[in-house]
Chains A and B, each alone.
Chain A
Amino acid sequence: MSTIDPTGHPNVHQTAAELATGDKTDTLLQTDGLRKDFGGFTATDEVDFSVDAGELRCLIGPNGAGKSTLLKLVIGTYAPSAGSIYYNGRDITDLAPHRRVRRGISMKFQVPSVYGELTVRENARLPIQRFADGEERRRRVDDAIAAAGLTGYEDVAASVLSHGQQQQLEIGMAAALEPDLLLLDEPVAGLDVAEREAIAERIVRLNEEEDIAFVVIEHDTDFVASIADEVTVLHNGDVFREGPVEEIKADPDVQRIYLGDEQ
């Protein structure tokens, strides 16, 4: 990509962000002054946030810090009040969510939302049918179900799966799209220790083997430490700290905002 001369190529529209990042061409996602107001409340305030290709980054911060809002802005569920979003150097700020997905981003929302009335197999078919047919589709569907640990449950309605199984299925469905960037909003909330470990393993494996970059929202710093190297702390709608997980964990200011005694 970096070898293309943007001025000489009709389809390449090099952005301010891309120019600004200079030689750092592996930046996958970059937000530029991203703000979202809900009435008089500012959920995210001029956020500059970036993710590199293949990176596994966790997003932490107290409730109301703007974490979910930031991810929903990135995927397009919310339209920003101000600012821009660049993906692979292209401005995607005005792109419809499904078009962002087709470019390689996907998101798993906080509430588990597999299609409850559909069977596990029907759930798995949905993302895969877009690009695979016949025998190839059957194989991919079986693989996705197996990777989610749900072999034997193919014809079960997804609503009767346990919470943890639903999360596994949903991550499997998102991963089946073979995205470059996957946004996960609290994938382990409400799960027991074994289920959390299974999800952590899954995320790390997808990151390492499939080279999917992740942004994972999570509160539990132990879980964060078990999967991520880099952490971004959001507070009051803006980036508060960024850095290696151990450094962030030890940061007294981060501890202070989590304990909420700063007022």
Chain B
Amino acid sequence: MVANTTDGAGSADAGGPMDALRRRIEGPNTVGNSRGFWIGFTVAVASLVAYPLAVGSYQASRFSLFLVYAFLGLSLSVVWGYAGVLSFGQVVFFGIAGYTFGIVSVNFATPLGITAAFLLGVMGSALVAAVLGYFMFYGGVRDVYVTIITLVSTLVLHTFMAQTAGDEWTIGTAALGGFNGMPTIPTLALGVGGAAFTFDSVTFYYFVLALLIATYLGLRAVVNSDYGRVMVAVREDEDRTRMFGYDVKRTKLAVFTLGGALAGLSGVLYASWGNYVSPQVFELAFASLPVIWVSVGGRKTLLGAVVATVGIEFVRNSLGGEWAFIAVGSLLLVFVLGLPGGIVPWIHRAYVDARGDATASNPPEAETVEVSD
């Protein structure tokens, strides 16, 4: 069925712009480098485009929240799956961006103001990630301590934002609202004056879908580039990577900042989707969701992060209530214990094996050696 089967860069023949594009976004750091994958990808995108037509604007609007969360899932996949930094605090950047968007857009509720709020939210969360990352990585914080610091940052923000009720916590005309959060955040609008466009229900869905596809493909190009190879090398062995002259701290900081921007993008879209943000975004239960999405989907694949985020949130939202959290918690246990690589790499491997791809699984005279330390 699939004719062009070579995984990895440098395989495509010289050809048109499509071949050049494929060379850029395909490589060993992503699953899905075959013609078959791209056919499936096109079918999936077409289905998502047709979805609002089939289910109507209410369901489409509901579904767009899951697409919004996919950016949050991608942010953790990049930071943890590719650079090896397990952050429990991607919701910090998500929440800061949501609040920033809320504060600015409530004060300047014109399309231009909302556009500025959108950009400031993303840039603000990237900046916070850069500052936090700088102190962690240049301060020599590694491994589980990064996880602890990011988790504590989440809880600190939760406690702080929950006590912002009252008039003294009003910025311009925007009241932070303490535990009740900020209602009446404007719907997303981009542009200036007459050239502005407001994204409401179905148009918001299409905007988020287009942004997600672009982000996914863009990140595929990043992780399959030379820089992506350095990211993966940092994940695998920091000391060794230094021995090739790479600045490991700077790499981790750059990836962490990118992760902050992606989580921030998710947060901005979230706040404008529900016209609301509250300290719940910093709660432990919400903070653990990205870790679950990415673990289930497969943290070392961008596709896994997107598929699992959307899938799990769809199920969780459909179940509702406490049961949803129990189901998601169980899912995490099952995957951590039974399928630690995640579901997408597992399917990918099964697909490769079924296709009889000799190079990936059967090296010439392969001998596995137990190497003792």
Binding site for B on A (CB under 8 A): 75, 77, 96-98, 101-102, 106-109, 111-113, 115-119, 121-122, 125-127, 129-130, 138, 152-153, 155-157, 160, 162-163, 166, 173-174, 177, 190
Specify which of B28, B242, B245 is in contact with A118 (CB 8 Å cutoff): B28
Once the chains bind, are A138 and B243 in contact (CB under 8 Å)? no
Q: Does B143 contact A (CB under 8 A)?
A: no
Which residues, 348 to 373 on B, are CB-close (under 8 Å) to A? 359-360, 363-364, 366-369, 371-373
Specify which of B28, B236, B243, B360 is in contact with A75 (CB 8 Å cutoff): B243
Once the chains bind, are A106 and B369 in contact (CB under 8 Å)? no
A109 vs B241: C-alpha distance in the bound complex, in angstroms? 12
Once the chains bind, are A98 and B245 in contact (CB under 8 Å)? yes
Once the chains bind, are B8 and A155 in contact (CB under 8 Å)? yes
> What are 12 of the A-B contact pairs (CB < 8 Å)?
A96-B247, A98-B245, A113-B237, A115-B237, A118-B236, A119-B28, A126-B233, A155-B7, A156-B366, A160-B363, A160-B366, A190-B372
Specify which of B229, B248, B360, B372 is in contact with A155 (CB 8 Å cutoff): B360
- Kindly list chain B residues whose C-beta atoms are within 8 Å of the C-beta of A77: 239, 242
Contact A125/B368 with A106-B243, A111-B373, A156-B363 known, Cβ cut-off 8 Å: no
- Kindly list chain A residues whose C-beta atoms are within 8 Å of the C-beta of B245: 98, 101-102, 127, 130, 177
- Starting from the known contacts A98-B245, A119-B8, A190-B371, 11 additional A-B residue pairs (CB-CB under 8 Å) come to A75-B243, A98-B246, A98-B247, A101-B243, A106-B243, A113-B237, A116-B236, A126-B241, A130-B246, A156-B363, A160-B367
Cβ-closest chain B residue relative to A108: B243
Once the chains bind, are A129 and B243 in contact (CB under 8 Å)? no
Interface size class of B (residues with CB under 8 A): 20 to 34
- Kindly list chain B residues whose C-beta atoms are within 8 Å of the C-beta of A122: 28, 229
Cβ-closest chain B residue relative to A115: B236
A146 vs B24: C-alpha distance in the bound complex, in angstroms? 26
Quick one: which of B232, B239, B240, B359 has the most chain A CB within 10 A?
Answer: B240
- Kindly list chain B residues whose C-beta atoms are within 8 Å of the C-beta of A113: 237, 239-240
A119 vs B229: C-alpha distance in the bound complex, in angstroms? 11
Once the chains bind, are A126 and B369 in contact (CB under 8 Å)? no
Once the chains bind, are B243 and A97 in contact (CB under 8 Å)? yes
**Chain B's nearest CB lies how many Å from the CB of A149?**
12
A156 vs B229: C-alpha distance in the bound complex, in angstroms? 16
What secondary structure prevails in chain B residues at the interface with A? loop
Cβ-closest chain B residue relative to A138: B10
Can you list, as one digit per residue, whether each of B218-246 has a CB less than 8 Å from chain A (1) or not (0)?
Answer: 00000000100110110011011111111
- Kindly list chain A residues whose C-beta atoms are within 8 Å of the C-beta of B367: 160, 162
A153 vs B362: C-alpha distance in the bound complex, in angstroms? 10
Quick one: which of B364, B367, B373 has the most chain A CB within 10 A?
Answer: B367
- Kindly list chain B residues whose C-beta atoms are within 8 Å of the C-beta of A107: 243
- Kindly list chain A residues whose C-beta atoms are within 8 Å of the C-beta of B246: 98, 130
A129 vs B246: C-alpha distance in the bound complex, in angstroms? 11
A116 vs B244: C-alpha distance in the bound complex, in angstroms? 16
A116 vs B370: C-alpha distance in the bound complex, in angstroms? 13
Specify which of A101, A111, A127, A163 is in contact with B369 (CB 8 Å cutoff): A163
Quick one: which of A75, A118, A126, A153 has the most chain B CB within 10 A?
Answer: A126
Once the chains bind, are B371 and A163 in contact (CB under 8 Å)? yes
Which residues, 242 to 257 on B, are CB-close (under 8 Å) to A? 242-248
Once the chains bind, are A115 and B242 in contact (CB under 8 Å)? no
**Chain A's nearest CB lies how many Å from the CB of B197?**
42
- Kindly list chain A residues whose C-beta atoms are within 8 Å of the C-beta of B28: 118-119, 122
Once the chains bind, are A130 and B363 in contact (CB under 8 Å)? no
